[in-house]
């Protein structure tokens, strides 16, 4: 996110990190990176740094799902997948500290370079990532199950119904702009939602531990090889949930390599369905966030642009 949350200033983040993880921490600076979570670089007086993140947690079971998702990275490292770089326990043994609606986590600072969401993988990079995912998918851990329904679907359906009737969606000052983006693409969006509703449910026998978003923006290139970060989306789901994102950005035969490494066959129809679900999940995330915004800023500008791009792709 480009802007820090007003109710979580750097001094508060610093106090949380000091209390829970690093008593010697002396400074916290906001990092305008990523989308969804907020991030800070926290330093000790000797210059050593860690990476603190805050995720908004609301709704029943939200805290438990986030803690469970972050626990996947630690379980993967313990199972021999060192490339899983994620939150570490605090002094009380837990991965999260609460501050109002925010869940704060801490992980070691990682020296390296992350890509961008739209980057393409070289064959060597894609092979390394498929091998990483094959290891992750073999980890035995009780990850939170993937939500069967599209998160935010009821709210999205309500907005689409309002736009179809020519009404402004309920919400803040960005409602007219949201309606202007949605209206010309309403038919395509509803068609894709119907296709999603008709898709076949996942076979429980194929469920593995997945990361959920292994795109170039969540892979850090380091001297020791790639490191997979940003574990809030980790869920128990079908392997295609991870694999389609790799296959979409490389010429490597991801399905063949994965089958060779794991013995699991990859379903092309499920790969395509996963891409569709990803786009629709973005729409279901952007629309309510924009309607809840108090006004335009750098984050809403990015969300409006991303919403338009996603709808055009549909």
Domain boundaries, the chain: 1-109, 111-314
The span from the CA of 182 to the CA of 180, in Å, is 6
pLDDT at 159 over 90: yes
| DSSP-based three-state secondary structure for 59 | coil
- Joined tokens for residue 81: 């997948």
- Joined tokens for residue 228: 């997979």
Where do the DSSP E strands lie in 47-118? 49-56, 97-99, 102-108, 113-114
Average pLDDT over residues 170-179: 90
DSSP for residue 168:
P
The span from the CA of 150 to the CA of 147, in Å, is 7
pLDDT averaged over every residue in the chain: 92
Is the CB of residue 53 less than 8 Å from the CB of residue 30? no
pLDDT at 42 over 70: yes
For residue 27, which phi and psi values (nearest 5 degrees)? -155, 145
pLDDT at 32: 87
Per-residue model confidence as pLDDT tens digits over 91-150: 999 999 999 999 999 999 999 998 988 899 999 999 999 999 999 999 999 999 998 888
Give the CATH superfamily of 111-314: Aminoglycoside phosphotransferase (APH), C-terminal lobe (3.90.1200.10)
In degrees to the nearest 10, what's the CA dihedral of 73, 74, 78, 80?
20
pLDDT at 1: 63
Average pLDDT over residues 248-260: 97
Average pLDDT over residues 291-304: 89
**pTM of the shown model:** 0.89
Q: What fold is seen in the domain 1-109?
A: Phosphorylase Kinase; domain 1 (3.30.200)
**Of 109 and 3, the one with more pLDDT:** 109
One fold for both 1-109 and 111-314?
A: no
Is the CB of residue 76 less than 8 Å from the CB of residue 84? yes
pLDDT at 4 over 90: no
pLDDT at 97: 96
The span from the CA of 174 to the CA of 30, in Å, is 26
pLDDT at 59: 77
pLDDT at 241: 97
∠ CA 4-13-213, nearest 5°, is 60
The span from the CA of 56 to the CA of 5, in Å, is 10
């Amino acid at each position: 996110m480009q802007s820090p949350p007003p109710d979580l200033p750097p001094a508060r983040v610093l106090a949380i990190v000091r209390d829970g993880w690093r008593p010697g921490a002396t400074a916290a600076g906001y990092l305008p990176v990523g989308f969804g979570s907020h991030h800070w670089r926290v330093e000790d007086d000797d210059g050593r740094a860690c990476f603190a993140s805050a995720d908004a947690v609301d709704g029943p079971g939200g805290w438990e799902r986030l803690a469970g998702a972050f626990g996947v990275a630690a379980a993967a490292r313990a199972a021999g997948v060192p490339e899983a770089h994620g939150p570490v326990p605090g002094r009380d043994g837990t991965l999260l500290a609460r501050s109002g609606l925010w869940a704060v986590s801490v992980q070691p600072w990682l020296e390296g370079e992350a890509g961008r969401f739209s980057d393409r993988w070289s064959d060597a990079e894609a092979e390394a990532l498929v091998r990483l995912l094959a290891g992750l998918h073999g980890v035995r851990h009780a990850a939170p199950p993937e939500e069967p329904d599209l998160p935010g679907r009821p709210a999205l359906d309500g907005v689409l119904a309002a736009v179809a009737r020519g009404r402004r969606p309920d919400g803040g000052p960005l409602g007219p702009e949201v309606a202007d983006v949605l209206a010309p693409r309403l038919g395509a969006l509803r068609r894709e939602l119907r296709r999603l509703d008709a898709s076949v449910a996942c076979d429980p026998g194929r469920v593995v531990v997945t990361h959920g978003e292994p795109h170039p923006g969540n892979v850090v290139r380091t001297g020791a090889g790639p490191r997979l970060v940003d574990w809030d989306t980790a869920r128990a789901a079908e392997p295609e949930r991870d694999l389609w994102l790799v296959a979409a950005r490389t010429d490597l035969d991801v399905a063949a390599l994965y089958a060779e490494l794991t013995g699991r066959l990859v379903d092309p129809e499920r790969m395509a369905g996963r891409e569709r679900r990803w786009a629709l999940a973005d729409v279901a995330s952007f629309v309510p966030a924009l309607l809840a915004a108090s006004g335009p800023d750098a984050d809403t500008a990015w969300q409006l642009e991303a919403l338009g791009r996603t709808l055009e792709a549909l």
